[in-house]
Chains A and B, each alone.
Chain A
């Protein structure tokens, strides 16, 4: 009895603090999730480490992931990349650039009703493989494509 009461008090106290913080405008409810940023994954420096940080260690290669990007990028500062996954129930699409200072470039979450398709533009320091890592139905898959860069995108 006593233990339960304590639990309730604790829960009550906790939500009180949250409510105060919300009232003070520190954050708005619903935004907490949106602001998660996987620092550990974005600091990784190799394909294998990034996979591990994403929890995608056992990823298998898949021909159902299509990477559309130029074979040769004249300007490494702006390389358009389109990734489309034909794998059912695709949940996330990540873009990894092997030889960049940090491998992970972006991780998109694809809710139900949104196509497993995304285009963006990335910076590439030098000629490198880029990987698309897809999480579908809890499993991980990837595909690779090499892009040759004539002028690196990190010198500014």
Chain B
């Protein structure tokens, strides 16, 4: 199981500002190890962010997103104390979901 995501969600005016740092190798499948064997691709393909049962951002990623992916975005309609939930699924079917409570501005 992958390490937990580090998520920060805080109010910025009437919007919720979300910053998330995920823990993932994001292996491209292009790299070779010391013996010359190709290191198989292992990367996050889908990311979904939900708030109050509604998707506020979803993404499809390729192998060129950096190792330990970072993402920053803003959405309307959230209030302090409510939860934001972020999930990812990688190309091997591994998945992780983490939640954070929206903080004040």
Contact = CB atoms under 8 A, between A and B. Distances in A.
Does A associate with B in a complex? yes
Contacts of A115: 15, 73-76
Interface residues of B, number: 33
Contacts of B89: 34-35
A80 B59 CA distance: 17
Contacts, number: 108
Interface stretch (A15-23, A105-113, A142-150): A105-113
B32 to A, nearest CB: 9
Interface in B52-102: 54-67, 69-77, 87, 89
Interface stretch (A57-65, A117-125, A131-139): A117-125
B31 interface: yes
Interface residues of A, number: 38
A78 to B, nearest CB: 5
Interface string A67-109: 0000000000111101000000000000001001110111111
Interface of A: 34-38, 42, 77-80, 82, 97, 100-102, 104-111, 113-115, 117-124, 153-156
10 tightest Cβ-Cβ pairs between the two chains A and B: A119-B72, A121-B66, A114-B75, A115-B74, A105-B64, A42-B62, A108-B59, A113-B76, A109-B58, A37-B45
